[in-house]
Chain A
Amino acid sequence: MVTATTPKITAKDYRVEHANDWCPGCGDFGILNALQQAVAGLGLRPHQVAVFGGIGCSGKAMYYLPVYGVHTLHGRVLSFATGAKLANPELTVIAVGGDGDGLGIGAGHFVNTGRRNVDLTYILFNNEVYGLTKGQAAPTLAMGLQPKSLPEPNIQGQINPLLLAMAVGFTWIGRGYAYNVKHLVELIQKAIRHPGLAYLDVLQPCPTYNDLHTRDWYAGKDRGDGRPRLYLLEKEGYDPVIPADADAATIAAKTQQFIAKAQEWDDRIPLGVFLENRAVPHF
């Protein structure tokens, strides 16, 4: 029982002594760290949290948390998470997985989960490659790019997960960066507090296989003027909220604004809350 005398929970309470097989420098560590701080910061105790992992490097995150941790089937993480939330609405349910898991094999589940505004948070570790299986092209890798495992440039087009999430009905959509832990903690907490289905895309450098979109690339070190590529939406006055009583014109304008921001890439890459739609009833 959580009582007045229960000691305050800290990120330390969310650490687990367990061998971790992520590569040194992997963005996954930043996301795990942010997740631990986010749930602790919300005052949640480990038994109040269930984390569902997909298959891939990212899906193992649940093994490093002392919560109810469920390693699910490839591409099915959202189905498990939905079931758990419906069975126990008191639980804080978080699904974690990679771009391959969620947008390749799991694309059908991604799409149909969007149709049900269940109160859960989906954190997608977006590194554009299949890290666990040695760096093949994932569905988020743009056509023509050639990370080091590919023998030829990518011949397939990419999925923009933010646009897809909006098209299928996710009511909270954000993007974080694995090495900006402080900002990521805030985003995860906002996503959890959102009373509906939240999609949080996290740009996650994979130092082992993605030699294109590295920490240095995001920092803009390859550019002459050294301008960082990442910027925060909230610093530019972007307002993601569709109010509960929004009229059709407001919804249309917000949608336009969202689409424009979700397509920014390369030169300037926005981080932050892209959409917070309060006009859709939740489960």
Chain B
Amino acid sequence: MVTLYQRGGPATGMPTRTEQGDLLFAIRAGHSETPRLVLASGDLVEAFYDAVQAFNYAERYQTVVVHLVDKALASTTCTVPPFDLEAIRIERGELFVPPADTDGRNGYKRFALTASGISPRALLGQPGGTHWLTGGEHTELGRVTEDPGVREQMMEKRARKMELALREIPREEKFKVYGDAEAPFTVMSWGSNKGAILEALQRLADDGLAARLVQVRLLWPFPADDLQPFLDSADPLVVVETNYSGQFAQLLRAQTGRASDYLVVKYNGRPISGEELYRALCAIARGCDERRLVLRNPWE
């Protein structure tokens, strides 16, 4: 489980300033096509429960889970309701139950090819569960191999885990919808922009303009099918991000074919405020010509 706290680059960049510049990095980091889940929290309460869930998913899918937060979120202090610790479940995923009388190696296949892609896991020290773990491509026993057939089987096995995750993870964990759920005016975003967007949406509602926020929380594997109805009915589709290039908008387009109608970005290290976003959304509602709106802090 990796907590990735984003801040401005390059290199040391702006170590005490915020950015959402690592989304595509989180999804693609590393060589080859290593499966992983990427979750992004929108506020501190989400961050608490998502951290727990990230550990659970790492064990359930036996793969890397990246929990994306950013400087703005990490440095925020606020009062929240007490966390519901009773509701928290620690999952260990599928565990290997050895035959009672075994000792040492008994042919246990740590990486057994299963329909789900998940192989029951023995815990280090458990009788009957000894095996090899390696970063090399491996057989079902954990033996390093470069056999082309085994490589295909293992690539497919790992890919099945991601398909399973997309099927199993409930919709409300993939994304949340706020505001007027039926409104065509759609803001789509991720991470800590949530607070500013909710504030801006409230002000638009006060003005009589119905709008909705689709806050995507599972960024990888990408919940394209679940989002489709919202993309179909979005008019306009406004993507809001704290980065220069609109990484979420790129991802959305790559995964669904749907381009954003407007992209609102901010990349000066400061978080987006409700006020400036409200003004940008008003301009969009009036049908402004610009398709990419940059939020700035002229007073700083």
Contacts and interface: CB of A to CB of B under 8 A. Distances in A.
Interface of A: 1-2, 6, 13, 18, 45-48, 50, 62-63, 66-73, 84, 87-88, 90-91
Given A13-B104, A47-B125, A88-B125, A67 B133 contact: no
Which residue, of A63, A68, A91, has the highest number of chain B Cβ atoms within 10 A? A68
A69 B136 CA distance: 13
Nearest to A69: B132
B130 A68 contact: yes
Nearest to A73: B135
Interface of B: 103-105, 123-136, 142-144
Which residue, of A70, A73, A90, has the highest number of chain B Cβ atoms within 10 A? A70
A71 B127 contact: no
Contact of B133 (A2, A70, A88, A91): A70
Given A46-B104, A91-B124, 7 more contacts: A47-B104, A47-B127, A69-B130, A70-B133, A70-B134, A73-B135, A88-B124
B103 A6 contact: yes
A67 to B, nearest CB: 6
Contacts of B129: 47, 68
Contacts of A45: 103-104, 127
A47 B122 CA distance: 11
Contact of B125 (A48, A63, A71): A48
Nearest to B134: A71
A70 B125 contact: no
By Cβ-Cβ distance, the 7 closest A-B pairs, closest first, are A71-B134, A69-B132, A46-B104, A70-B133, A88-B125, A66-B105, A91-B125
A47 B106 CA distance: 11
A45 B143 CA distance: 21
A71 B142 CA distance: 10
Contacts of A69: 130-133, 142
Contact of B103 (A18, A47, A88, A91): A47
Which residue, of B105, B123, B132, B133, has the highest number of chain A Cβ atoms within 10 A? B132
B124 A84 contact: yes
B132 A71 contact: yes
A48 B123 CA distance: 11
A2 B131 CA distance: 19
Contacts of B127: 1, 45, 47
Contacts of B124: 50, 68, 84, 87-88, 91
A63 B104 contact: no
Contact of B130 (A1, A47, A90): A47
Nearest to A92: B125
A67 B135 contact: no
B132 A63 contact: yes
Contacts of A88: 123-125
Nearest to B98: A47
